[in-house]
Chain A
Amino acid sequence: MTHAVEVEGLVKTYRVRSRRGFFKYSVELIEAVKGISFTVDYGSVVCLLGPNGAGKTTTIKILATLLLPDSGTARVAGYDVVKEAGKVRENIGLMLTVEKGFYGKLTGRENLEYFAALYGIPRREAERRIDYLIKLLELDKLGADRKLYEEFSLGMKARLSLARALLKDAPILLLDEPTLGLDPPSARRIRELVRDIAHKEGKAIIYTTHNMFEAELVCDRILLINKGVIVAEGTVDELKDKIPKLKVINITLKSGRNPAEVIGEYPFKKEVGVEENNTFRVKLYVQKPEEVLGEVLKKLVNSGGEVVDVKIEEPTLEDVFIYFSEGSV
């Protein structure tokens, strides 16, 4: 079976010009994507997970034919994004921004009708599809089908944006941070819908986010991307298994010396966060917690710290991300 999306060695470097004088400019090269390769199958949600500036939106834009790659190939629904951009555009549903992207003086329904015309959907079919999507995304309950877009809340805008992405019933959806800035109920509804659409309707969905929790809930497979490189990929469980038998010790303690100084000499990875009231949260990534915990606690107590809480946890997706993006734990 052919893949819905096939990306091979994709590279994109931006040239950013900065003014240095009346006639002088300096050019800075920013490597946004450095030779990434991956595939996405129909009926699955694949997350591009990474921090801001990791290259997620650049990748989505290339796949949506909104940006030309410098080298490498990308095929969407079997069509090359550079040579067959028109065909690619017929096969994708796109959601790139939540907060804008519609006409303010049109209602939600009228905006969808406008884009249906641009997508070449016959009028009667468009009406049926719009009715269906308005119900599916509960836009009617929010009154968003009758209200002017300029009166929409962010949650309503996000739902309308997803409705547009689904308008032409394209087999592939490209969703760039679709829940960014949304209230929890709206974000939850969108996450549920995305999973349902992929699994029940067999669509391939690429979903970018920097939210680990969301990636864990929505995605069948995760591509961890950092500084333009895919640092790891797999299901959530596969990714967790890739961290070599590590467990996370979470210690909360009050007062005393900064724990970073006290346990600084230990070779394992540690993170120290400082909160209000002189409270420290310490995370230790170790293979055998029982071997180090006693000694570490003793040192922390001897330095004047009062241990409030100790927990030993399995690594989270966030830990996996830190492990892969920073090289080692």
Chain B
Amino acid sequence: EIDKIVDLKTIEELEETLILADVGVETTLALLDPIKTKILQGETLTVKELKSFLKEQLISFLKDTNKPFPPPGNPSVLFFLGVNGVGKTTTIAKLGKILKNNGYSVLLVAADTFRAAAIDQLKTWGERIEAPVCALQEGADPGAVIYQGISYAQKNKIDVVLIDTAGRLHTKYNLIEELKKMVKVINKLVPQESQENILVLDATTGQNALSQAQHFSSAIPIHSVIITKMDGTAKGGIAIAVSHKYNLPIRFIGLGEKPEDLIPFDKNSFVSAILPD
């Protein structure tokens, strides 16, 4: 089966596989059209060869980073953003736990002062992972919470501050402006090298993830991505184009709703899940 010679039907099947994994039409056709031309010109290659070529290509689209994580700082600040319901708050708790297990002290900051019970949600997570939470009341200025949180961390020598923000669509002008303000507050308190702005993407999202990356990164610098909900049947293929186009490394993937369900991103297994042998 794997040593079969590639024909147009194989190409069509691979097209289906890639598109169904949300890799996207553009990336898929860019990969497969040249192959199609070669096949039509009479070149032969085996399915195995083609698949390993495609995997290599997909892997090469995924950006690497050698920046340390968390970034060095006193404290280092991880700022989470993304559209509604992708898993920001939960991911913060999971990552807080990982960092704690690695010997860092952490502070969770409830800068989602908008959504009903968002503060309670983060506080509950704080109790579960035994991490302090900095919060003001619902409706408070997110910048004020961030200011308090980082100042508290500085005074109390906390290593990493994880900031939760309200979910917002990337197309909402005033909500994007609010993001910029929050980043300004962070900039006042800690140097750039100590900050990582993390875009959280939901693996079930389709081509819209590209628009999310584009809009958010044109407003504030985005440094990395976390993909959540990889425990479902979605393959999260759009992350490949996002990583490629916006030069964004993927740090972690979320695999469930429990505190331990976050693991470092691994290119090979990610791409192998998209293109199984």
Pairing of A with B: no
Interface residues of B (CB under 8 A from A): none
